[in-house]
Structure formats: C-alpha cells, structure tokens
Amino acid sequence: MRFFKKYFFLLTLLIAFTVKSQTKTITVCNTCDVKSIKDGIDLAQDKDTVLVKKGIYNETRIFINKSIHLIGENFPIIDAENKTDSVIAVKAKDFSISGFRIKNVGLSYTKEIAAIYTSHCTNFTISNNIIENCFYAFIMQRANYGVLTNNKVNGHAIVETSAGNGFHLWKCKNMRIEKNTISGMRDGIYLEFVNKSFISHNKSENNIRYGLHFMFSHHNEYHHNEFKKNGAGVAVMFSKYIKMHHNTFHFNWGTASYGLLLKEIYDAEIVDNVFEQNTIGINIDGCNRITYKNNHFVRNGWALKFTGGCYKNIFEYNNFMHNAFDLSYNSRLNDNEFEANYWSEYTGYDLNKDGIGDVPFRPVKLFSYVVNKTPETLVLLRSLFVDIINFSEKVSPVFTPDNLKDKKPLMKPINPIQLN
Amino acid sequence: MLKILKYSIFDLLRSRWSYVYFVFYLILGFVLLFLNNDVNKAIITLMNIIIVLTPLIGTIFGVMYYYNSKEFTELLLAQPIKRNKIFIGQYLGVSLSLTLSLVLGIGIPFVLYGLFKSASIFDFGLLIVVGAFLNFIFVALAYNIAISNENKIKGFGYAILMWLFLAVVYDGIFMILAIKFQEYPLDKFALTSMMFNPIDLSRTLILLKLDISALLGYTGAVFKEFFGTSKGLLTSLFILCLWVVFPLLRIHLKLRKKDF
C-alpha cells in the first residue's frame, strides 16, 4: 500500500509534467529553425511562449490572435523600415508582449499605425518594450484589463500634424499604465472614452503637444506622474470623477503652455500635486465641484487662471509661492471657496500666534484684472505704478470680486518641499 | 577733460554721499542674499529696487552736484578751457562715481555668495548694465534740467517731477490709454511706449530674461517675436544708448548759447 502511494505520487507528478509540457516554448532566432517572428507565432498555440532571441528582424504586420506570450530576450530589434503598417497587431485575450525594441514605423496620414496595435483585447500585459522613432507607439482600442508597464517611448516629432501619440487609448476600461517613459511624441498619453483606469508613475516630457491628454474618461486615477517641458503641458477635458494626486507638472514654459488645462471637469480631486514654473499653473474652464488640496504652486506665471463659469470649487491648504499672478479671475461673481492656503504675497499679521493671518487675503490683484481685460498692459509687470494701484485696490476693493478672499490665510507654508 | 573728470571723481569720492550710497547697496545686497539665500530670487527683488531707486538717486545727485559746484564751474569757465569739456567731464565724473558705488555695493555681496558658480550670472550682469545705464541717463537728464534753470528750488522741483513722471505717471497714462483703446491691436503701441521711457525700457529688458517673455508671448505675435529672440535685447540696449546720447546732445546745444 505504501509502495503504491509512493508511485501514485510520482505518477501524478509525471502527469502534471506532461500536461505542463503541452504548453511549449518556440524559440526564434536568426540561426534557429524558426527564423521569423511571424512563423513562430503561426506555430504557437494558446498558452505557448514565443521566445525571440537577440537579433534584427525586419518584419511588420505580425498578427497575434491567440493567447500567447511573446517574449524578447536581450531586446531583439524589430525594424519596420518606415513601412506604413503596424508592427505587432493583436486581437486576443490573455497574452503578453515584452522585451522588444521596435523601430522606424512609417508615418501615414490615412491609417492609424503603431508599433503595437491592439483591438478588442482583454487580460494582457505589455511591458519592458523600447519604442523608437515610431508614428504611434501604442494604440489600444476597446481594450479591457490591460497592463502597460515599464515601456520606453522615444520619438522625434516636429509638427503636430505629422506626429503620433505615445499611448493612444480609445474606448478602454480597467487599464493600468504604469512606469512608462515617453518623450518626443505628439501627446505622451492620450485617452478617449477610457474609464476606471489607473495612470501612475509615468514620465512624459518634451512632447510637442500635451504630456497627458484625456477626454470623456471618467473614474480614472492619475498619480505620481511627472509632466515636464511639454509643448502645451497637460490637457484634460469633459471628464467626471477623476483623481489626480502626487503628480508633478513643471517647466511647461512657453507662449501657450499650461501646467494643467481643465475643461469641463466635474467632481474631481486634485491633491498633493506640484506645479512649478509653468506659464499657467492650472487653467480652469467651466469646472465644478473640484477639490484642490495640498498642491504647491511655485514660480508660475499665473498659478490659477479661471476662464468660464466655475462653481463650488474648494481650494484649501495649497501653497502659492512666488507666482507672477496667484489668481486671475474673469467675472465679478464668485462661488468658489478659498480657505487656509499659504500665499507668499500675504503681508498680514498674526497677533494671537495661531498660525492663521488676522486679515483676509485677496488673491486677485487689480493688475491681474486689468491684464485680463487688456493683455497688452502686461508690459507693466513689476512696475512701481502697478504696485501702487494693487495696494490701493487691496485697501478698498472696487473691481475685484468682493467675496473672493481667503479668510484664514496661513502664515507658514504647508509641507514645504525642496524644489530644484 | 580727463583732468576735470578726475577732479570730479575725487571730489565725489571724498564726499560722504558716495560712501553712504555704496554702503546702502552693500547692506541691501547682503540682506537680500541672507534672507533669500537664492541668487535668482534676490535678483528679482534687486531689480525692483534698482529700477526705482537708481533713477531717483541719479537725478538728485546730478542736480545737487551741478548747483553745488556752480561757483567752481564758473571759475573754470574763466580759464581757456572748452565749455563742453568742463561739463562733460563733470557729468562723467558724477555718473561714473555713482556707477562705481552701485557695481561695488551690489557686486561684492553677490560674488561672496557664489555668483560665479550660479547660472544667473548673465541676469546679474544685465542688471548691473541696466543700473549703470540708468545712472548715466538720469544724471544727463538732471544736468539738462539744472542747466536750464538758474533757480535751485525750481531745478530740484522739476528734477523730482521728472522722476515721478517717468517712474509712475507715465505707466498710469499708458495703462489708461491701453484700457480705453482695448478694441484696437495694441501690441505695437505697447512696445513703442516702453521705448520712450528709460525706466520701463530697463524693466522690460530685465524681465525679458526672467519671466515676462513667456507671459507676454501669450498675448500676440509681435510680443513673441520681440521678446522671444535676441532682437528684443539688442534693440532695447541700443535705445538705452540713444537715451544717453540725446540728453548729452541737448546739453551740448544748450551750452553753446548759455550765458553764465
């Protein structure tokens, strides 16, 4: 009996192994039996692995329609030689692609072509790829439960009309875009109709249009991303219930640059972000019920610029430091609440030493009101005359909204950060 | 002329006011750097002070020096020396000693705080150049006023008025006009009006390198072209030179006919 037991165990082990070995690994290399990735994929079945060894593969239109793992070893190069076809196109579920270096996808004005193009995919991982000089890097349409992580995208975009996006997602759900680096594309990350997704720890810089651009994408969370030196900063539009926290928006410094452009965003939370040296820190256009908390606005042209009706927004515990204008406001009506922020321009006193200034602070200066009406007067920035009229307006407000004030301005900055 | 220049400089260096001026800038520089510890931010604050104060002190010094040394000047005029040389020598003496106080007073603290290691050395250089220009311009303007007015009180009054006009009133008038005519394209008007006021011109010149360029480019193509390229810098510097040359020319013309 004991003898039998022992062998039964071995037998089960053996069966387990044979079952396992049914999922095979197909190796592709220049000296192997299988010389092209396409052939490797043709040979593979569901749950197989296609292992591509180091080398150069001049292939496009690699089509995956089964649940396989396509793995590159030591970054094999797939060179599209500027052909106008997507390099890898996928329509499958439960697959993964990792470890490739994909180069030179040609540009097309009629087709959407990408280094990796997926449509109708679920449960997949695309990781550790390097995409260079490609029209679009990743296009995902109607994807669900996908993870895009640790990819590097590097482009040489020059004009908007002939450039593609780094990550282009359309009608997706439950996606995770994490730890990617994107530079030199049109938009770093572009999301349209993408819901319930997480975008985190990405670095998007030197893109000619937006570092991050999303529209009609609800219930998403963006955190710990860095957006730097993008042509027009970050633009987010027509979305509800989004959370943006711990992001850094900096050096979006140019004639038409924003740190963050918000257009018709409702019920969002914008917390713990850093806005440093942007022409406009946040441009707020028609946004309601947004909570801004614990953000740092440092050395921006305008820290906040309101255009269009904005109601029921709450600004609390933010630091406004050394901005040319803290706030530009377009109407005389105010329904937004400013409370307990730190303003480096604040000159009031605190007699009872509770850390809260005894005189309310008015962030809208008369000059910023004038500039709003006639932008050309901006040449008077920092002139003595401007200081004088600002002072007189501060003493008795006539032009700026009377109730737009921080009743409890803080005397010291909150959680000061070390900036470079 | 060199002899008179030398005499004026030594005369001024012996006087207390040069030292007061020098010590003032020295303390200002140290305090600013001590409070900020960031050369970049200190430069912005310093700009605000230089733009307002240098013209004021230049004006007052210029007028004061002219009236104070009037008797000595008359004595010199009795000698076989050209009128031009006497006055230009005096003018250069005052301007140079003021500039020296400014450069040393601000330069020493900044150098001690590691200016050469920081990236803002160019901004600082520009600030010093602009400060020097403002000295030369406003001493020249003050001399113009003093030569045209025998009455001391009147001369002082006009000089202070001139400073007030250029530092404050001019900007006010510009702003009112800009608001009044806001329906029209104003960018060229804005640029040219800045050219006609040395204080505004120096302010734009410094802000050009600091923060105004991006903010202004936002408003129109003319600004973008002017402020975005080195064209703006060169034009502004050239016009500052003109601002020195024209008042000097007027002194020259005035002296030819003036009866002492």
Residue B112's pLDDT is 85
Encoded amino acid at B260, one letter: F
Domains of chain A: 24-231 (2.160.20.10), 254-364+401-420 (no CATH), 365-395 (no CATH)
Model confidence at A397, pLDDT cuts 50, 70, 90, reads confident
pTM here is 0.86
What is the number of CB-based contacts under 8 A between chain A and chain B? 88
B218 in contact with A, Cβ within 8 Å = yes
Nearest to B171 among A322, A374, A383 (CB): A383
Taking residues B85-93, what's their average pLDDT? 88
Residue A196's pLDDT is 95
Model confidence at B131, pLDDT cuts 50, 70, 90, reads very high
Do A73 and A99 touch, CB atoms closer than 8 A? yes
Nearest to A255 among B168, B204, B217 (CB): B217
* Residues of B (140-199) whose Cβ lies below 8 Å from A: 167-172, 174-175, 178-179, 182, 186-187, 189-191, 194, 199
CA–CA dist A69, A71 (Å, integer): 6
Give strand ranges (E) for A1-150.
Answer: 25-28, 49-52, 56-57, 62-64, 69-72, 77-79, 88-90, 93-98, 101-103, 114-119, 122-127, 130-132, 136-141, 144-149
Nearest to A373 among B182, B204, B212 (CB): B182
Residue whose C-alpha is closest to residue A127's, from A65, A77, A177, A54:
A177
Nearest to B194 among A279, A379, A385 (CB): A379
Per-residue pLDDT reduced to its tens digit, A267-287: 999 999 999 988 899 999 999
Number of domains into which chain B is organized: 1
First and final CA of chain A: distance in angstroms?
74
Concatenating the DSSP letter of every residue in A263-313 gives EEEES-EEES-EEES-SEEEEEES-BS-EEES-EEES-SEEEEEES--EEE
For residue A388, the chain B residues in CB contact (below 8 A) are 168
Residue B217's pLDDT is 61
Whether residue B147 is predicted with pLDDT greater than 70 in this model: the reply is yes
Is B219 in contact with A382 (Cβ distance < 8 A)?
Answer: no
Residue A14's pLDDT is 57
Is B218 in contact with A375 (Cβ distance < 8 A)?
Answer: yes
ipTM, two decimals: 0.86
Distance of CA A412 to the CA centre of its chain: 31
A376, A380, A386, A392: which to substitute to probe chain B, counting the most B Cβ within 10 Å? A376
Give strand ranges (E) for A317-395.
Answer: 319-321, 325-328, 335-339, 342-343
* Residues of A (278-307) whose Cβ lies below 8 Å from B: 279, 301-302
B113-117, B179-183, B201-205: which range is least confident on average? B113-117
Whether residue A245 is predicted with pLDDT greater than 90 in this model: the reply is yes
Model confidence at A11, pLDDT cuts 50, 70, 90, reads low
* Residues of A (251-280) whose Cβ lies below 8 Å from B: 253-257, 279
Q: Which domain holds residue B39?
A: 2-257
* Cβ-based neighbour number of residue A122 at 10 Å: 16
Per-residue pLDDT reduced to its tens digit, B204-238: 888 877 766 667 666 666 776 776 677 888 888 99
Nearest to A376 among B44, B190, B207 (CB): B190
Is A370 in contact with B175 (Cβ distance < 8 A)?
Answer: yes
Give the gyration radius of chain A's Cα atoms.
27
Per-residue pLDDT reduced to its tens digit, A68-118: 999 999 999 999 999 899 999 999 999 999 999 999 998 888 888 999 999
For residue B42, the chain A residues in CB contact (below 8 A) are none
Residue whose C-alpha is closest to residue A290's, from A315, A318, A327, A260:
A315
Smallest CA–CA distance from A420 into chain B, residue: B38
Nearest to A382 among B48, B172, B178 (CB): B48
Taking residues A138-150, what's their average pLDDT? 95
Q: What does the buried/exposed string (b/e) look like for B23-38 if buried means 16 or more CB atoms within 10 Å of the residue's CB?
A: eebbebbbebbeebee
Taking residues B117-143, what's their average pLDDT? 88
Do A234 and A211 touch, CB atoms closer than 8 A? yes
Model confidence at A1, pLDDT cuts 50, 70, 90, reads low
Taking residues A134-161, what's their average pLDDT? 93
Model confidence at A10, pLDDT cuts 50, 70, 90, reads low
Q: What is the DSSP letter of A106?
A: P
Model confidence at A20, pLDDT cuts 50, 70, 90, reads low
Residue B38's pLDDT is 67
CA distance A88 to chain B (A): 42
Residue B218's pLDDT is 63
Q: How far is CA B126 from CA A285, A354, B88, in A?
A: 38, 43, 26
Model confidence at A162, pLDDT cuts 50, 70, 90, reads confident
Give the gyration radius of chain B's Cα atoms.
20
